[in-house]
Amino acid sequence: MTEYDYWKIFPRMPKKVTIGDITVRDGFQHLEQFISTRAKTFYAEELIFAGCRNIEVTNLGNPYLMPQFSDAEEVLAHLRSDRFKNRCAKKGINYDDLCITAVTIREGAVDRAIRLKEKGVGPDRCLMMVSTEEEHHFANSGTTLPEYWKEAEHCIKKCTDAGLKMCGTVSTIWGSPIAGATELQDAVDFTKRWLEIGASDIEHADHDGSASAPDVYRYFSMILDQIPDTSLHIAHFHETKRVSSASILATLQAGIAHFEATLGGMGGQPANFLDDCPVPGTGEYYYEDPRYVGLTCLEDMLVQIDEMGIEHGYDVDRVLWLGRQMERTVGKRLRSEAAINGRTLKGGHPKFARPGLKKLKEKIGEKPDQSFPKEWDPTPVLPEQYRP
């Protein structure tokens, strides 16, 4: 007989997960409108109050290239303020449980993170990024892969000395938007390299929605077979074909317990136009239609994981409310279905019931819980030709 217990079929699948939020950084970097500092700090605060403990809030690179983050220091200073710490304490949140991340693709940004830490407003964790496909890597960083690895090794040593963690991102695992197909083993080897040079954890990234569920399961199984400590691994999926929920499920089945997402599924390549002016960003977009670019929706992922009975630590209804507010902030419909349609309620939606069922059953002599004609045998009999 078939085994019906999902956790016996997939024994590595976690019963508790960590979901980090990267809305205020990755979600906003793709927008062609400046999001105010007040809005950034509002969403960062509210996501933390709703249960987020790992949050990525800015990019410390050159603001000339990405002016969306010209207020990086202000955002970080707000999250380091006594006012915010006191608000956390009043809500029963241990401030020391928070991990605040800033993206630092190049050494100049790492140096900036260290200076901010010395001022008391720096991040807890930085992030550098390699792509297994060198054309994509060059588009993001402007360096060759060997050049970048040397820079990353040097930067990790700087961060370690300064008391900062460094996350190493491996991108284009399942394919590159520039050069196409990639090899999964390359990403496994890149992961080992990050850990070899001192990275604290690894973000495994599908940056253009190339991933398919079977290859996601295969890759993360390969990762955990060779690097079994699940605390080292974070899954990061983009949504371009409406299939990332399948990738999330495959990732869970493989045994990964840490994910990232954004409100409304926002995010993608840094904008090359902001408000009324072209800006450098990372150059020309490598997609045709920005409506179909973004990350996994936090709202939808939470509902999916919550309804599987997996512990996650969030107030789901609060996050759904935040998703609806975000649509007002950006002035357009975003990609979350759960933010609009809500959760699947175990008690149903009685307000949609048609009147008269109870009276009809009484009128024709049926019991309230009766589902079949009373003259039928109470036990269904399957015709022999359909039996196992």
Q: Where are the domains of the chain?
A: 6-341, 350-386
User: pTM for the whole thing?
Assistant: 0.94
- Determine the pLDDT at residue 350: 87
- Which pLDDT does position 210 carry in this prediction? 87
Note the pLDDT of residue 1: 83
pLDDT of residue 290: 75
Both structure tokens of 387: 């039996």
Per-residue model confidence (pLDDT) at position 368: 93
| pLDDT tens, position by position, 169-224 | 999 999 998 899 999 999 999 999 999 999 999 999 998 888 999 999 999 999 99
pLDDT at 295: 94
CA of 321: how far to CAs of 104, 235, 296, 336, 343, in Å?
31, 25, 17, 12, 12
CA Rg value for the chain:
24
pLDDT of residue 314: 98
Contact 99, 55 (CB under 8 A): yes
pLDDT at 329: 98
- The string over 251-264, giving b where at least 16 C-beta atoms fall within 10 Å of a residue's C-beta and e elsewhere, is bbbbbbbbbbbbbb
Architecture of domain 6-341: Alpha-Beta Barrel (3.20)
d(CA 265, CA 129): 21
Report pLDDT digits (tens) over 145-170: 999 999 999 999 999 999 999 999 99
Q: Which residues of the chain have pLDDT under 50?
A: none
Distance CA 98, CA 96 (A): 5
8 Å CB contact between 275 and 217: no
